[in-house]
Amino acid sequence: MSEHGKLHRFGGRLVMVGFGSIGQGVLPLLLRHIEMSPAQMLIVTPGNDGHEIAAAHGVAMLDAAVTEANHRELLGPRLGPGDFLLNLSVDVSTTALIALCHERGALYLDTVIEPWAGGYTDTRLPPASRTNYALREAALALRGPGPQPTAVLTHGANPGLVSHFVKQALLDLARAAGEPPAVPARREDWARLAQRLGVRVIHIAERDNQVGARRKEIGEFVNTWSVDGFVGEGLQPSELGWGSHERELPPDGARHTSGSLAAIYLRRPGAGTRLRSWTPLAGAQQGFLITHGESISIADYLTLGDPAQPAYRPTVCYAYHPCDDAVLSLHELAGRAWVPQERHRILKDDIVAGTDALGVLLMGPPRAYWYGSLLDIDTARAACPHNSATSLQVTSAVMAGVVWAMRNPERGVVEPDDMPYDEIIDWCRPYLGRIVGAYTDWTPLDGRGRLFDEPLDRDDPWQFKNFRVG
């Protein structure tokens, strides 16, 4: 049992849409930390996913897929003022659900901004419209002038928790640099702190080395969380927050012409784009530059000056080394010219060993600094049933986000960056294993050019071209 006990008393109805690896893992945490009866909850999901887990907790399930055609009649009557819609599904539009919640006066939280089914891979749309940038702009456009019920966007581990890790990491660097111990009060103050510390690049640097009892087979995609979700985002254009120190746009890079202007995209899928990074679990590694909401929201949050020609903005991107079977699955997916495998398997109860190292790597100061969670499978299982190391980093952040939204019900549409980093980390802490701050001398130039000449920018190690795998 966690040290926190009940964090909030909730009197409304809570509808959870989707009950896969994250929904099943978060259910015990919600009932552990929110004072409410299982009878106040309803899970809406197609098929029989996790019905025995719902039944064991006394929570009712409705066998239905939420679609563009039915979402109003299916969910509308089940939501009123003060109720909660927790969206942990795939293929269900974030903006449609938030619009409905705002009409009904209900609170909302999700872990990713999703379009309706097929939206990620609809090649009739230009690449710019298939980006997370476009999805984020559409979600932020739901912000109204007056008070609105709280709708928390993208509050899982990443996106989500990592935005809070960035702030803690900045404070750690500030203390190490001898800065006075003042916590920035406003967005601009955080950006000024990052600028003062010389942070040029922030990676969401993750290494998952969990292994299952059975190896991946041909024609099978294996992962430690949603295969549908991972393949969907892996086939979107690769995206990254684009820093003010970058000297040249990548040859396949493209800028947006409206919105925050905080990010660029590459004309290629993230599942086929690799970059060099570092985690304390494995040292130097190559990860996949998968598009993620936090790459854009953190870069936007830390921008100073004119967004088109910022005085300061770090480059922010996700450098993801998923579990080894997922790496093989991506390799096979690329070989199939991005036609998804027929069979999916999510590793959870059959994991035999491994750790998920999820953190933020801040680069630019004299030494790079990684701050995050090192959570092994045994610690995760002991902390909460129905979870893996990967899912618990997500589900603890979902629980914390739900509690925060319930306590702050009139904040309108918010991103993780708008929420209190310290409170959220504190609520998640019992579920994150070892929280580690690690310095490293690693740069993407280490060992480069030894075998062959490479077109590197040796004057500035932190240029994107040095990270990217050619």
Burial of 335 (0-12, 13-18, 19+ CB in 10 A): exposed
Q: How far is the CB of 195 from ligand NAD (least distance, A)?
A: 27
Contact call for residue 158 and ligand NAD (CB under 6 A): yes
Q: Are strands 263-269 and 253-255 parallel, antiparallel or unpaired?
A: antiparallel
For helices 161-176 and 389-407, what crossing angle results, to 10°?
Answer: 90
Q: Which residue in the set 15, 20, 54, 166 belongs to the binding site for ligand NAD (CB under 6 A)?
A: 20
Q: How far is the CB of 27 from ligand NAD (least distance, A)?
A: 11
Q: Toward ligand NAD, which CB reaches closer, 120 or 467?
A: 120
Q: Toward ligand NAD, which CB reaches closer, 291 or 463?
A: 291
Q: Which residue in the set 149, 156, 322, 416 belongs to the binding site for ligand NAD (CB under 6 A)?
A: 156
Chain centroid to CA 131 = 15
Q: Toward ligand NAD, which CB reaches closer, 88 or 271?
A: 88
Contact call for residue 58 and ligand NAD (CB under 6 A): no
Per CB under 6 A, contacts with ligand NAD among 321-350 are: 346
How is residue 83 written in tokens? 């109720």
Q: Binding-site residue total for ligand NAD (CB under 6 A)?
A: 35
Burial of 268 (0-12, 13-18, 19+ CB in 10 A): middle
CA 28, CA 227: separation in Å to the nearest integer? 23
If residue 234 lies in a helix (H) or strand (E), which one and from where to where? helix 227-235
CA 22, CA 191: separation in Å to the nearest integer? 32
- Binding map of ligand NAD across residues 59-78, x = CB under 6 A, - = no contact: ------xxx-----------
Amino acid at 345: R
Only segment of 157-165, 201-209, 373-381, 413-421 that touches ligand NAD (CB under 6 A): 157-165
Q: Toward ligand NAD, which CB reaches closer, 50 or 461?
A: 50
If residue 212 lies in a helix (H) or strand (E), which one and from where to where? strand 211-212
Only segment of 34-42, 109-117, 145-153, 269-277 that touches ligand NAD (CB under 6 A): 109-117
CA 200, CA 42: separation in Å to the nearest integer? 45
CA 169, CA 162: separation in Å to the nearest integer? 10
Contact call for residue 19 and ligand NAD (CB under 6 A): yes
Contact call for residue 157 and ligand NAD (CB under 6 A): yes
Q: How far is the CB of 310 from ligand NAD (least distance, A)?
A: 26
Contact call for residue 49 and ligand NAD (CB under 6 A): yes
Per CB under 6 A, contacts with ligand NAD among 244-303 are: none
Q: Toward ligand NAD, which CB reaches closer, 158 or 329?
A: 158
Q: How far is the CB of 352 from ligand NAD (least distance, A)?
A: 20
E strands in 229-289: 237-241, 253-255, 263-269, 274-279, 283-288
Q: How far is the CB of 45 from ligand NAD (least distance, A)?
A: 4
Spell out the residues 6+ positions from residue 360 whose beta carbon is closer than 8 angstroms to its own.
162, 165, 166, 169, 202, 203, 204, 205, 370, 371, 372
Q: Which residue in the set 179, 228, 324, 423 belongs to the binding site for ligand NAD (CB under 6 A)?
A: 228
CA 297, CA 303: separation in Å to the nearest integer? 10
Q: Return the residue nearest ligand NAD (CB atom).
A: 20
Contact call for residue 45 and ligand NAD (CB under 6 A): yes
Q: Which residue in the set 115, 149, 160, 372 belongs to the binding site for ligand NAD (CB under 6 A)?
A: 160
Q: Which residue in the set 7, 16, 21, 377 belongs to the binding site for ligand NAD (CB under 6 A)?
A: 21
Q: Which residue in the set 90, 152, 197, 299 belongs to the binding site for ligand NAD (CB under 6 A)?
A: 90
Q: Is residue 65 within 8 Å of residue 88, measured between CB atoms? A: no
| Closest by Cα among 421, 396, 427, 374 to 171 | 421
Name residue 321's beta-bridge partners: 207
What DSSP line would sit under 153-170, residue for residue? -S-BTTTBHHHHHHHHHH
CA 314, CA 244: separation in Å to the nearest integer? 6
Q: 10 Å Cβ neighbour count for 293?
A: 28
Contact call for residue 220 and ligand NAD (CB under 6 A): no
Q: What is the longest distance spanned by two Cα atoms in the chain?
A: 65
If residue 391 lies in a helix (H) or strand (E), which one and from where to where? helix 389-407
Only segment of 221-229, 348-356, 381-389, 415-423 that touches ligand NAD (CB under 6 A): 221-229
Q: How far is the CB of 463 from ligand NAD (least distance, A)?
A: 28
Per CB under 6 A, contacts with ligand NAD among 385-414 are: 394
Q: How far is the CB of 358 from ligand NAD (least distance, A)?
A: 9
Q: How far is the CB of 321 from ligand NAD (least distance, A)?
A: 15
Residues that bind ligand NAD (CB under 6 A): 17-23, 44-47, 49, 65-67, 88-92, 111-112, 114, 154, 156-160, 225-226, 228-229, 346, 394
